A and B are shown apart, each in its own frame.
Chain A
Amino acid sequence: MSLEKKDEFDHDAWLKRKDLTAVETVFLTTLIWIDKRLRIVDYLELLETLYYRINLQMPKSHTEQYDLDNKFWYWYPLYSLGSLSVIAYLVAAVSGALLGFYYSPSTAGAAATGDPTAAWLSIEMIIKDLQFGFMLRSIHRWAAQFMMAAVFLHMLRVYFTGAYKEPREGNWILGVILILLTLLFGYSGYVLPWKQLSFWAAQIGVEMALATPIVGEWAAQLMFGGFTLGQATLVRMYILHVFLLPFVVTALIALHIGIVWVQGIAEPH
């Protein structure tokens, strides 16, 4: 055994044998130089595989195959409700990130009970003083309403077309979890402006938690930061709304769609 390089890995000799143009030589030399250090070939192959995947022809859908188009086209909008809720979620995410620049989750500033707090004042500033702020908040709220509606209707569509059956039970349960998290998303966002109804909605949440035996007090402290509402409640709802839920819900939506991709869309017969 010798320690000398084997011929097939001698790239210089290979280059010489190839009789390349100047451009080709420079390209290959650069490519080999980078590849020796970063091993980009593997990543290029991933890209190549993706290219072939994307250019694959999609299979004929059930409606196409059985020529049901003339009878079933009016059901199609019901099959886009899932993607519509994702689109609304993305719109809410973008507008929410922009609102986050100006909102401050703080109950400071109220001299007496009923005075405006810093949170309420920051929303008022967004509405009254900020360029495009009124529109921004309006878009965020409406995107949330649209997502809620789309998610509920999506669930009804899945129920009435029996799309939750045999291989898809797990995805149905994942969907139920997602709908609950979406409701929590809406609830925590409802509390943030710290207006009158926000406060009393949070109050009902605390009362529901406290009515539950054994785990109730613990849950109230975890979710609302105590038994009476204040700064701790607002900060917890804020972290829930802008940090925890975005990560969890986005990951679960990705999983939900990934499973649909793997299992295929259940079309009605």
Chain B
Amino acid sequence: MTTQHTSTDRTDNTDREPMTDGGTDDAARTDGGPPATIPPDDETPTWSERKERSQGLSRLTYEYFERARREDQDLRQESTYVERDVLGFPAWPHETIRNLAITSFFVGIIILISATIPMYFENPANPSSTPSIILPDWYLYWSFGLLKLNPINPELSVLGGNLVVSHEFYGVLAHGLIIGVVALVPFLNKGNARRPVEQPFWSAVGVMGVLLSITLAALAIQNFFPFELELLFSMSFILPVLGGAITYAVLKTMREGYMYDLNKRYYRLRPPK
């Protein structure tokens, strides 16, 4: 609880020293200067205060908690890291009321739309007549599209020309492939870049994925398109690659252009790795 004084002292000493680029720390900082408006909360009773009369194992537990807290505090006092107090946004009432407002608005939208656009209900199931158009809900169109990739599935056949791997199984495999790649993203794309401009390649991959899911959905509802299936099929794979390339070019240009200048002050504080 006494780190407050040491941290302010340290800030005062270092603030005026010129940095290597000629400016001062004061000029470069973007966090609004030393705030220190809200002191650390001393009202919370310590565990020892609350548990002074406890016995046995619980006593030992809380004695250990106290030791651990003291150890933390000592380490904090010894370190050169400058602690800054933060200006808070209280959980109650500010945050709570904001969340309630957002929640009511969203639920209201759901109710409004369900009242104005009611859902269509169709005929009972008839196993003996296959409908001309079979479709899942819209969110599974991409998955349904994966089952219609027959022309690009390699045709492995042995002995009598029977397919070793059926088209349906290629569809199932494609699902596994896509889900596996998506799950592995954090292990493929490392580093601490956050903005799309900082990582043009991975943003392009993302745009490609989004466009591919859309074109796969279009492939699933191919009956609704007035042009040839072959054209639709080619476009399903050309469009995502095209979109990815455009994204990459645009982001590269933005990175070289104005965005980098806008953020120069930020990058001076935290150089990109």
Residues of A whose CB lies within 8 Å of any CB of B are 8, 45, 48, 52, 54-61, 64-67, 80, 83-84, 87-88, 91, 110, 113-117, 120, 123-124, 127, 134-135, 137-139, 141-143, 145-146, 148-149, 152, 156, 159-166, 168-169, 172-173, 176, 180, 183, 186-187, 190, 193-201, 203-204, 207-208, 210-213, 229, 266, 268-269
- Chain A residues with Cβ below 8 Å from B86 are 57, 59-60, 65
Known: A169-B187, A199-B126. 19 other contacts (CB 8 A): A54-B92, A55-B90, A57-B38, A58-B88, A67-B30, A110-B124, A139-B110, A141-B114, A146-B106, A146-B110, A162-B202, A169-B186, A173-B183, A190-B137, A194-B124, A201-B134, A203-B134, A211-B166, A211-B171
Inter-chain CA distance A169–B179, complex, in Å, is 15
B168 CB to closest chain A CB, in angstroms?
3
Cβ B195 vs Cβ A269 within 8 A: yes
State the majority secondary structure of interface residues on A: helix
Complex partner residue of A143 from B110, B121, B134, B137, CB under 8 angstroms:
B110
How many inter-chain contacts with C-beta < 8 Å in the A-B complex?
211
| Contacting residues, chain A, for B32 (C-beta < 8 A) | 65, 67
- Interface residue? B147 (CB, 8 A): yes
- A120 contact set on B, CB distance < 8 A: 124-125
Given contacts A84-B106, A142-B110, A204-B147, contact A117 B124 (CB under 8 A): yes
Could you tell me the distance in whole angstroms from the C-beta of A58 to the nearest C-beta in chain B? 5
B125 touches A187 (CB 8 A): no
**Across-interface contacts of A163 in B (CB, < 8 A):** 194
Which of B121, B135, B189 sits near A123, CB closer than 8 Å?
Answer: B121
Contact between chains at B192 and A166 (CB < 8 Å): yes
| B126 partner residues in chain A, CB cutoff 8 A | 113-114, 196, 199
How many residues from B make CB contacts under 8 Å with A?
78
Residue ranges of B at the interface with A (Cβ–Cβ < 8 Å): 30-32, 38, 41, 43-44, 50, 53, 86-92, 95, 99, 102-103, 106-107, 110-111, 113-115, 117-119, 121-131, 134-140, 143-144, 147, 166, 168-169, 171-172, 179, 182-183, 185-187, 189-196, 198-199, 202-203, 206, 210, 266, 270
